Amino acid sequence: MRFIRKIGGLRVLPGKIIEVFREQGFNGAVNKLRYIVKQAFVGDMHTLNLQGYETWFKRYCAVTGEGRKRMLEITDAFQNPPFISVLLPTYNSHPLWLKAAIESLRNQIYPHWELCIADDASTNENTVALLKEYCEKDSRIKVQFRKKNGHISEASNSALEMAEGEFVALLDHDDLFTEDALFWVATAINKNSGAALIYSDEDKTDTKGRLLEPYFKCDWNYHLFLSQNMVSHLGVYKTSIARQIGGFRKGFEGSQDYDLALRFIELIDEKQIVHIPRVLYHWRIHKQSTAVNAQSKPYATKAARRAIAEHLKRINVQAEVEILPINLYRVKYNLPEVLPMVSIIISTRNNPELLQKCMESILKKTSYKNVEIIVVDNNSDEPETVKYLSELQNKREVKILADKREFNFSAINNQAAQNAKGEFLLFINDDTEVIHKEWLSEMVCIVAQDRVGVVGAKLWYPNNTLQHGGIILGIKGVAGHAHKYFDKLNQGYLGRANLIQEFSAVTGACMLVKKELFNRVGGFDENLAIAYNDIDLCLRIRKQGLKVVWTPYAELIHHESQSRGDDFQDEKYERLKKESAYLLNRWGDIIQNDPAYSPNLTLEAENFGLAWPPRLFNDFRNAVPNE
């Protein structure tokens, strides 16, 4: 019952459910209750694959004497070491935690910093005395004692006004920087001349000083950022832009940093956002902290929803924002006013039962109506299949194409695409089955967004374990499926199994793409007859500067490989190895460094476990200053 204790105990549950009911109605309350029950009896799923994290951190992240020496040498070699102002708002802060936060800054290896503390009219004499003490003994520490309490946004703005640095870093009054935090920030600034927003990985520390629940982030992932504040800690912003947008907004307390980041990214290019894949920040867990319980500050969740909604409105995106039972967010985009035609392309051969199940589910369970269905028959010769295909020809929205060539997924679908009338192409396997009516609407409303090229769906095995939650490159040498075999009770790593986000690729078993874009990049590569053609297509589309998005809100059942068997028979295995080599030769660099994953997470499995060792372990090569 650890999860029940985390949210405040059984006594507070009714009040939480009532509050959700008022905000989100009956369905929202039911979903929240379901989530609480699942977590209580199944456990905190996102920590299950990270056993031994504290040992991992001490082995690979703790700064050694040699490492400290090397960092100082690199710092001395900086021609223009960036000056960083750390913003720290306080109000009646616990003296022990506040002292630890300040000391974590004073212990930084990187020396070019200042601490700007804005005290929000604290009434705790010990807090005030501690701040005065530090102000007197360290000239790098500046303190403004505000006369009137204005809450965290106004206090943060007071700290921002004091900042003299080119960049500002955010530190909460009860949290900790690692001693190498500002070194790696300064390094990122030096290596990326246009950097404007820098963020790092983070973890949590409890009252006993133990480290737990690391958040190993991916590189910039806009759609994931709309689902959760993936910048958070440690977040570093170019000072001039932070001031240009007016700093922190009053009325968004609890999520003022999320709101700041949402407004900040509207003025910069994504290339100016830099991710440091290292844990540089320890978020303290205590009863009043959202680190242990988001419901300790329910106003923060509401403020975040409003911040996301206002961001979307400012950039002219028509959408609604929902709070999920896991206190994260879903953006529900509006469909275009005029529904574009979608050409649903299904290749098949001698699978009448699977094909019929697939077709009937599409025809009966698809609310999106502007579709045509193209079934490509690849040499079916079984009487039942031939008969069923003949029956399908009588349906107005169905077109049957014959392809007499030897099976080549890429060639078959390329040919079908040339016969498609739709503005969008939906490639879908004949061994899939639609679950709910809004699946295609969900995919269309996302692919219609600016800079989105491909959208993938959430696919379940018939036993209700996850088959496809996005593709992670590099798993077991080539690629794997995120959260594969996780059951429906499992939220995945920090909720990622249930959040809209970008991946480097999604499976071709259910993939929606703009037809013009598909043709522009040359369609599927016909050298990849069976495997990896979907990955290759997605990577070529990403190379065009477009995004590959996966949504958990388009769900289907996938009877994987039942239409053609598995890939481990001798002949098929040899072909798979050949296609693997072809893909690695073309995309080897990105396959080993998937921007939608983390070098701190394993490539040996699909469960978001720890990498022993991480793939950036003691790597100072990227810290050397540019010539």
Report pLDDT digits (tens) over 75-96. Answer: 999 999 999 999 999 999 999 9
Q: Is the dihedral of CA 261, 262, 265, 270 positive or negative?
A: positive
What percentage of residues in the chain have a pLDDT greater than 70?
88
Are 421 and 288 in a shared domain?
Answer: no
Number of domains in the chain: 3
Q: What pLDDT does residue 570 have?
A: 66
Q: Are 440 and 364 in contact (CB under 8 A)?
A: no
In a domain, 313, yes or no: no
Are 21 and 95 in a shared domain?
Answer: no
Whether 577 shows a pLDDT value over 60: the answer reads: yes
In a domain, 607, yes or no: no
Whether 11 shows a pLDDT value over 50: the answer reads: yes
Residue 429 backbone phi and psi in degrees, to 5: -70, 155
**pLDDT tens digits, one per residue of 175-227:** 999 999 999 999 999 999 999 999 999 999 998 999 999 999 999 999 999 99
pLDDT averaged over every residue in the chain? 90
Are 34 and 141 in a shared domain?
Answer: no
Categorize the per-residue pLDDT at 50 as very low, low, confident or very high, splitting at 50, 70 and 90.
confident
Instruction: Look at phi and psi of residue 247 and say left if phi exceeds 0, alpha if psi is from -120 to 50, else beta.
Output: left
> Hey, what are 460's tokens?
């379940």
Are 90 and 39 in a shared domain?
Answer: no
Strands 197-205 and 235-238, how do they pair? antiparallel
> Hey, what are 614's tokens?
């991480």
**pLDDT tens digits, one per residue of 438-450:** 999 999 999 999 9
Pick the more confident residue, 42 or 325. 325
Any bridge partners for residue 273, and if so which?
A: 197
**pLDDT tens digits, one per residue of 273-317:** 999 999 999 999 976 555 455 555 688 999 999 999 999 999 999
Range of the domain at 26: 2-43
**pLDDT tens digits, one per residue of 135-170:** 999 999 999 999 999 999 999 999 999 999 999 999
Last residue of a domain, one of 278, 293, 308: 293
Are 82 and 32 in a shared domain?
Answer: no
In a domain, 605, yes or no: no
Strands 176-177 and 167-170, how do they pair? unpaired
Q: What pLDDT does residue 45 have?
A: 38
Range with the poorest average pLDDT among 17-26, 115-124, 201-210, 434-443: 17-26
Q: Tell me the helix, strand and coil percentages in the chain, rounded to 5.
A: 40, 20, 40
Q: What angle do CA 566, 571, 572 make, to 5 degrees?
A: 30
Are 271 and 376 in a shared domain?
Answer: no
* Cα gap 542→567, rounded to integer Å: 27
Q: Are 262 and 311 in contact (CB under 8 A)?
A: yes
Report CA 608 to chain centroid distance, whole Å. 13
> Hey, what are 607's tokens?
């469960």
Residue 484 backbone phi and psi in degrees, to 5: -60, 135
Q: What pLDDT does residue 59 have?
A: 94
Last residue of a domain, one of 233, 259, 293: 293
Categorize the per-residue pLDDT at 47 as very low, low, confident or very high, splitting at 50, 70 and 90.
very low
**Could you tell me which residues come within 8 angstroms of residue 406 by beta carbon, excluding any fewer than 6 positions away?**
none
Pick the more confident residue, 42 or 601. 601
**pLDDT tens digits, one per residue of 338-394:** 999 999 999 999 989 999 999 999 999 999 999 999 999 998 889 999 999 999 988
CA distances from 292 to 19, 56, 97 (A): 19, 22, 16
Categorize the per-residue pLDDT at 616 as very low, low, confident or very high, splitting at 50, 70 and 90.
confident
Once rounded to an integer, what is the mean pLDDT over residues 593-611? 95
In a domain, 429, yes or no: yes
What b/e sequence results for 431-454 when a residue is b if at least 16 CB atoms lie within 10 Å of its CB, and e otherwise? bbbbbeebbbbbbbbbbbeeebbb
In a domain, 302, yes or no: no
In a domain, 450, yes or no: yes
Nearest Cα to Cα of residue 1 among 32, 39, 57, 52:
39
Are 131 and 202 in a shared domain?
Answer: yes
Are 34 and 91 in a shared domain?
Answer: no
Q: Are 245 and 144 in contact (CB under 8 A)?
A: no
Categorize the per-residue pLDDT at 323 as very low, low, confident or very high, splitting at 50, 70 and 90.
very high
In a domain, 619, yes or no: no
Are 24 and 96 in a shared domain?
Answer: no
Q: What pLDDT does residue 24 have?
A: 55
Whether 125 shows a pLDDT value over 90: the answer reads: yes
Place of tokens 């935690």: 97
CATH of the domain at 172: 3.90.550.10
Are 150 and 35 in a shared domain?
Answer: no
Nearest Cα to Cα of residue 434 among 549, 347, 342, 558:
558
Are 361 and 255 in a shared domain?
Answer: no
Within 10 angstroms of residue 250's Cβ, the number of other Cβ atoms is 13
**pLDDT tens digits, one per residue of 447-492:** 999 999 999 999 999 999 999 999 999 999 999 999 999 999 899 9
Question: DSSP string spanning 248-265?
Answer: SPTT-TTSHHHHHHHHHG
Whether 23 shows a pLDDT value over 60: the answer reads: no
Are 85 and 174 in a shared domain?
Answer: yes
